[in-house]
Amino acid sequence: MEESAEEEPPGETPFFRARRMERALHFKRLFIKFEGSGVTGTQKDRISKYHVMRARELGYDTISLGSCGNYGASISYFAHKYGMKSVIGMPSFYSGDRIPEIRAYGGQIMEVPVKYEEAVEIMRQKSVEENWYDSNPGGKNSELDFHGYSAIASEIIDQLGRVPEFLAVPVGNGTTLSGIYKGFKTMKEAGLTDSVPRLIAASTDNGNPIVKAWTKRKRVVSNLDQSAIHETSINEPLVSYISYDGQTALDSIYESNGFAFEISDMEMLRYSNILKEAEGISALPASSSAIVASNLVATNLNRKIDCVVVLTGRGK
Ligand SMILES: Cc1ncc(COP(=O)(O)O)c(C=O)c1O
């Protein structure tokens, strides 16, 4: 029998209380939802399988996207597993950490001498010309992304037994945060819960349109000037001049009475080291930005907070 995407979604990631960190920092309670435990080590596994299954159902033999590495590794893994080809457009700047893995899954890498957003646009165009399935963010298949990420909300409610006061998520395109928030809203609208968490978005201080808009108290997300962003090997999953789901993410942050913070590479590295020492968890530094940001919220509010942090990636 053919397996459908509904039968075995990736997910059910570990959830635990980070007691040592909560004592050392400004938390009443700090819980970690560890998305780094997935097969390719990031939250992207939540959506990649859905895209591959849909592509197969629609009769495509190849799936494509632009990626800085994490999403490319995840798509190529699931494409390989379900007998499809994958083509990943990767900006030459990026660290290339994921290249051997993508190749091992049979993924074809197209190195493009441009920034991430241009790689996405090139691959979107290529998918039309070559009749490949387009799994890029902000494209015609991207409603599957919200569907995949919304499951994180229901798992948190199951694992915690309630809705947390705050939920912290790292943002690049804002897709993950928007999808999780949609999950919480859906459950509230269905009468299964009576609240949604206040969102805390964390991103890099080297350029991200969502946190830039929030820190200037703007209601509309604007693209940044390309020259205003600075990619590093630490911030690469979060830095961007276009956030494809940025407006949905910003609207969600305001609606939930939430916060957004720009975090430096140094702080991301420092907190991922603290996390390793205190809790024995190896997290991708960019994903630790969500812990830094939630600690800043507690400091700004001058009280200890109850927070779930979504750690989106495991360390290398
Ligand atoms: C590990 C990790 N965390 C967070 C993000 C940001 O997610 P989003 O682009 O959905 O905001 C990414 C995006 O690539 C990522 O790879």
Ligand 1 center to 72 CA (angstroms): 12
Do residue 155 and residue 295 come from a single domain?
yes
Do residue 148 and residue 185 come from a single domain?
yes
Domain's final residue, options 84, 108, 134: 134
Do residue 186 and residue 251 come from a single domain?
yes
Nearest to 203, CA basis, from 235, 249, 234, 245: 235
Do residue 30 and residue 49 come from a single domain?
no
Q: Determine the residue of 43, 152, 240 to mutate for testing ligand 1's pocket, defined as the one with the most ligand atoms within 8 A of the Cβ atom.
A: 43
Can you give the length of the chain in residues?
Answer: 316
Instruction: Calculate what percentage of the chain has a pLDDT beyond 90.
Output: 92
| 303 within domain boundaries | yes
Give per-residue pLDDT as tens, 159-208: 999 999 999 999 999 999 999 999 999 999 999 999 999 999 999 999 99
| 5 within domain boundaries | no
Three-state secondary-structure class, residue 121: helix
Do residue 38 and residue 166 come from a single domain?
yes
Whether 259 and 199 have beta carbons less than 8 Å apart is answered as: yes
Alpha-carbon separation of residue 61 from 7, 25, 145, 153, 310 (angstroms): 22, 49, 20, 32, 33
| 3 within domain boundaries | no
Whose CA is closest to atom 3 on ligand 1?
312
Ligand 1 center to 1 CA (angstroms): 34
Q: Domain total for the chain?
A: 2
pLDDT at site 94: 84
SS (H, E, C) 36-84: HHCCCCECCHHHHHHHHHHHHHCCCCEEEEECCCHHHHHHHHHHHHCCC
Residue 149 burial class via C-beta count within 10 angstroms: exposed 0-12, middle 13-18, buried 19 and up: buried
Whether 119 and 71 have beta carbons less than 8 Å apart is answered as: no
pTM above the 0.85 mark?
yes
Ligand 1 center to 103 CA (angstroms): 21
| 6 within domain boundaries | no
CATH number, position 70: 3.40.50.1100
- Given strand 85-91, what is the order of strands in its sheet? 108-112, 85-91, 62-66, 133-134
Ligand 1 center to 65 CA (angstroms): 14
Alpha-carbon separation of residue 27 from 35, 85, 202, 281, 309 (angstroms): 21, 46, 17, 18, 12
Which tokens belong to 18? 């980070």
| 23 within domain boundaries | yes
| 111 within domain boundaries | yes
Ligand 1 center to 237 CA (angstroms): 5
pLDDT at site 2: 43
Q: Determine the residue of 145, 147, 287, 314 to mutate for testing ligand 1's pocket, defined as the one with the most ligand atoms within 8 A of the Cβ atom.
A: 287
In this prediction, the residues of the chain whose per-residue pLDDT falls under 50 are 1-6
In angstroms, rounded to a whole number, what is the distance separating the alpha carbons of residues 314 and 231? 20
Structural domain of 87: 45-134
Beta bridge partners of 30: 307
Three-state secondary-structure class, residue 315: coil
Ligand 1 center to 54 CA (angstroms): 22
Nearest to 145, CA basis, from 124, 176, 168: 176
For residue 176, which atom of ligand 1 is closest to its CA?
A: 10
Give per-residue pLDDT as tens, 198-251: 999 999 999 999 999 999 999 999 999 999 999 999 999 999 999 999 999 999
Ligand 1 center to 287 CA (angstroms): 8
Which residues form ligand 1's pocket by a CB distance below 6 Å? 42, 70-71, 170-176, 237-238, 284, 286-287, 312-313
For residue 179, which atom of ligand 1 is closest to its CA?
A: 10
Ligand 1 center to 301 CA (angstroms): 27
For residue 174, which atom of ligand 1 is closest to its CA?
A: 11
- For β-strands 108-112 and 198-204, DSSP reports them as unpaired
Do residue 125 and residue 223 come from a single domain?
no
- Given strand 15-17, what is the order of strands in its sheet? 15-17, 27-34, 305-311, 166-170, 198-204, 259-263
For residue 287, which atom of ligand 1 is closest to its CA?
A: 3
Whose CA is closest to atom 15 on ligand 1?
237
pLDDT at site 48: 97
Ligand 1 center to 2 CA (angstroms): 30
pLDDT at site 93: 83
Which tokens belong to 150? 């919304």
For residue 171, which atom of ligand 1 is closest to its CA?
A: 11
For residue 284, which atom of ligand 1 is closest to its CA?
A: 1
Do residue 161 and residue 113 come from a single domain?
no
In angstroms, rounded to a whole number, what is the distance separating the alpha carbons of residues 228 and 240? 10
